């Protein structure tokens, strides 16, 4: 897993309260919710590629049948 970068985020109190509620609804910390939102936005805009799940790196690729 890549190292995580720490930084300070200043955010409007009402926005924080809404994030806090949303995070609790999803059983996440506020930090985890923000990470999830940023990751989702990056993927949706094509700025980050989805990582393949273990064993699924060939998913979606066409394979030729083996002649045995």
Q: Scanning the structure block, which residue is given the tokens 């995070």? A: 23
Residue % of the chain over a pLDDT of 70: 79
Number of residues that this document lists for the chain: 68
Give the per-residue pLDDT at 66: 61
pLDDT tens-digit map of 32-54: 999 999 999 999 999 998 777 77
Backbone Cα Rg of the chain: 18
What is the C-alpha separation between 47 and 40, in angstroms, rounded?
10
Signed CA dihedral, 57, 63, 67, 68: sign only: positive
Contact indicator for 21, 28 with CB cutoff of 8 Å? no
User: Alpha-carbon distance 2 to 40, whole Å?
Assistant: 17
């Amino acid at each position: 897993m890549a190292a995580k970068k720490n930084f300070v985020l200043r955010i409007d109190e009402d926005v924080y309260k809404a994030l806090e509620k949303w995070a609790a609804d999803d059983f996440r910390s506020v930090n985890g919710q923000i990470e999830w939102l940023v990751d989702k936005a990056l993927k949706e805009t094509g700025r980050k590629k989805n990582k393949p799940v273990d064993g699924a790196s060939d998913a979606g690729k066409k394979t030729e049948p083996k002649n045995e």
